[in-house]
Structure 1
Amino acid sequence: MEIRNLESFIQVAELGSFTKAAESLGYTQSSVSTQIRQLENELGIPLFERINHSVKLTEKGKEILSLAHQLFRTADAIKKTADNPLTLSGHIRIAIAPSLCHWLFQHNFEQFHQLFPGISLELISTSTEIMFQLLNRNEVDLVYTLDHHIYDRNYVIAYEAPVSCHFVCSAHHPLAREKSVAWKTLIRQSFVLTERSTSYQKLLDEYLTSRSMEITPFLELSDTSLITSILQKGSEISFLPDYVTEDAVRSRKLAHLHVPGLDIEIWKQVLYHKNKWISPALQAIMDYLGGEAFK
């Protein structure tokens, strides 16, 4: 059933004239007549009585006019729902890197909740390997990784951006005053690092191993917020993504160390399975992540 035929039907019924309906819609009178005839043929009933150039709805025509109005109200509501994120609803499951989970909502949770009050989120903090296992079983809708650059034709990359990481310490640490820190000096320091299962920690270990070096941390833990707090109060060093430490570095509580030759490529990426249906709610979440997390 053609929507434009229903639209012409409504106009003819309300204006009581094929001519006036054609003028209102920007069609020729013959086009409107053809559309009404097509609609009547499809339904198998007359919608209008045409007597002496007058146009009057049949009884069935009156019933169908009411239904046609209802259909257009529904179509309008669907469009408004799609266009207005405040009316979006749904449950979105995201497998996410632990440090990204903490950082993403540390400052932006209230803003997110105000934008999407009808959307509920389930965040599953886990390793990159398990993320994709969950994605392949359709147990999550998105993965938000912090790892080496991932490309696989089974997954669609919604957003991606490189991430800088630095060795970092208290601004009062003796090495913070150095323009550069040699590796032989650095690896003798006391370290607080994230767990070795953390993606960027694994990449650091691979980098060090390839150069016959090793760092044995004094403490390993997953809470990057706690690590930054420990660094500010002590003499330890850590290796963290810049987004974790940017506030403390900006306020001169922490300092980045320049280590010559350090070259570790880390990316944050939002991906979904190529066969995943993208609902309006899921698209809104991806757009939010792309706007907030990748700006």
Structure 2
Amino acid sequence: MIKSRITLKQLEAFVGVVDMGSFRKAAAILGTTQPNISSRISSLEENLGVILMHRDAGSVRLTEKGKALLVSARQVLWNAEAFLEAAERRDLVEDRLRLGVTELIACTWLHAFLRRFREVYPSVGVELEVGLSSEIEKKLATGQIDLALQIGPFDYDIGSALPLRTYRYAWIAAPELAGDNAGHRPMTALLKSPVLTHGRHTLATRELAKFAEAGNLATDQIVYSSSLASCVQMAIDGVGFALLPAALVRDQLKAGNLVEVATDWLPTALEFHARFDESRVPRFVSVAAGYAIETADAWDE
């Protein structure tokens, strides 16, 4: 029996320092002080009779024994969480979910997902990062995010990538701008008017640029924006036609503030995935990914 020699708090401190890269950051996420984290790891090393990590000027470096025991420490914490799940006491899980999403999800079904997650895990805080898919993926790759809800294709091979949903693009405009031509407007005519869309380096805008180049069409009327919400408002105000995910303007289309404009070209649909590294993250992250899939399916475009 190990009795009280090895505690979950000591293992949490060990894993926390490794994941966050410092004692200070680990203390912040675990809701304690840096001296407490240091004390827990020192006690763990003393009880085990091994050195787990070297402390170097604000950073940590695992020993070979530390690397081997890190895997087991994660498994113990994962099993402790599974124990609470079996006891139907997920409310006792105290942690934080570092979540990265794109603006499309933030503007559609994110709130419904967070409500569902908090109902089941009320003691797990959520740290939210909203940004471009490429930025989110980099943070996932470097361990700064636990769960990424992002589009493919991917630059990094990271654990699981569960399909969420596919979102089509649409050309939309204010009713007065679309006029009688909402039924069909060729791209040659569309690009002669102001066009509102994503930032320059997104997949859709790259495809739009290639299409225009192939057809020798002008692109000087394209207005790029890093804010999809701003594009929607400008479209409502009649600034120009907008190339946006149809899900983003669902409510505006239903209300008649915007109309869909048929044309002869659309970019590739957005394929979203829930991504996480199952070898590193807590058990509840995979549960959260499942909730994301269910919420995305329930959200009707």
Q: Same fold (TM over 0.5)?
A: yes
**Relative to structure 2, which stretch is displaced further, 199-208 or 133-142?**
199-208
Rounded to whole Å, the distance in 2 between the matches of 1:131 and 1:229 is 25
Equivalent residue runs for 1:67-216 within 5 Å: 78-80=83-85, 83-105=88-110, 110=115, 112-146=117-151, 148-150=152-154, 154-175=158-179, 177-216=181-220
What corresponds to 1:286 in structure 2? 289
Contact 1:98–1:126 (8 Å) recurs in 2: yes
- Indicate the SS of the match to 1:292: helix
- Indicate the SS of the match to 1:293: helix
Cα 1:84–1:249 change in 2 (3 A) is farther
Unmatched runs of 5 consecutive residues or more in structure 2 = 2-79
Equivalent residue runs for 1:202-241 within 5 Å: 202-217=206-221, 219-241=223-245
- Indicate the SS of the match to 1:262: coil
TM-score by length of 2: 0.61
- Indicate the SS of the match to 2:204: helix
Q: Which residue among 263, 266, 275 is the counterpart of 1:262?
A: 266
- What's the Cα RMSD here? 3.3
Contact 1:149–1:266 (8 Å) recurs in 2: no
Cα 1:207–1:118 change in 2 (3 A) is farther
Contact 1:88–1:280 (8 Å) recurs in 2: no
Rounded to whole Å, the distance in 2 between the matches of 1:77 and 1:183 is 55
1:161 to partner: Cα distance: 2.3
Rounded to whole Å, the distance in 1 between the matches of 2:239 and 2:225 is 17
Larger-gyration structure (1/2): 1
Give the aligned residue type for 1:285.
A
Map Cα deviations across residues 20-69 of structure 1 (whole Å, 9 max, x no partner): xxxxxxxxxxxxxxxxxxxxxxxxxxxxxxxxxxxxxxxxxxxxxxxxxx
**Relative to structure 2, which stretch is displaced further, 226-235 or 107-116?**
107-116
TM-score by length of 1: 0.62
1:81 to partner: Cα distance: 6.2
User: What percent identity do the matched residue pairs reach?
Assistant: 11
1:263 to partner: Cα distance: 4.6
Rounded to whole Å, the distance in 1 between the matches of 2:81 and 2:231 is 51
Contact 2:165–2:296 (8 Å) recurs in 1: no
Between Structure 1 and Structure 2, how many residues are aligned? Answer: 221
Map Cα deviations across residues 221-279 of structure 1 (whole Å, 9 max, x no partner): 33322322222222411111111101111112111111124352321111123x63342
1:152 to partner: Cα distance: 6.5
Rounded to whole Å, the distance in 1 between the matches of 2:138 and 2:249 is 30
Contact 2:141–2:156 (8 Å) recurs in 1: no
1:169 to partner: Cα distance: 0.5
